[in-house]
Structure 1
């Protein structure tokens, strides 16, 4: 991603980071989604992609001291009240971005950033299956609603006339 804004959902995200108010965490992280074409900012969701950069920022800004060969950064996610432990590659107590980790759809490789989420079940809706069902029908389409850190609706491709 290059730049902030541009009326694009992917580039209109903000991470607000500070030293943590919790004794068992290193930093507090508030995610803010600038809602494109609306006059509002949404702080109800979370964003794992932006979260992965929180550890890098924490080390580079001096909020967390790097260890070797890895550094753990405990993040208090203010949006959900949950904690994520990030494990950063820091050989010789220096951040490393070189590695073989690959994400489909993203060019190149890099050092992995491990995200260990703690107790995320029902963090937004109150239950792993917010409707109480493994399967529901919405407008004639079979769906599964899940909340394991972020509310998600799973739909089989053939249910909406496309292939996976």
Structure 2
């Protein structure tokens, strides 16, 4: 009887040990699953933070470009001090009016021709452009003729109309 009792206790003990081993194995699998999920979440978070930072940086540049455009429209031309300001202005114009960067980059415009092209696109007249660029109005006309030749604009089509027709709408 004593031996049967011991044997029965031994069997129950072995069953309990088996249950504990199974629980430990499950716990290890669950822990590994949690570790994997944690890695995935960290990767997603890093990705979102990167996108957020890029967006905030792009947004800052856009705000500066829009401010430059506003100053330009208010005839405060001295704010366009360097090429970086012009690039920011181009980005703001492309966003608000439609993108013409594809049109003007293909034909190899000079920096000055690019400025005239964008200023024409937003509707500034020759005298306003001349004042902004600190050159004569006749020089603006010469630039526009060169731009028209490079873009192969024929007939009486105005540069501003041509750019408006071929601009790509911004769908953001």
Structure with higher Rg: it is 2
Which TM-score band applies after superposition, normalised by the shorter structure? under 0.3
TM-score (norm 1): 0.21
Return the TM-score normalized by structure 2. 0.20
- Name whichever structure is richer in strand by fraction: 1
Bigger RCO of structures 1 and 2 (CA < 8 A, at least 6 apart):
2
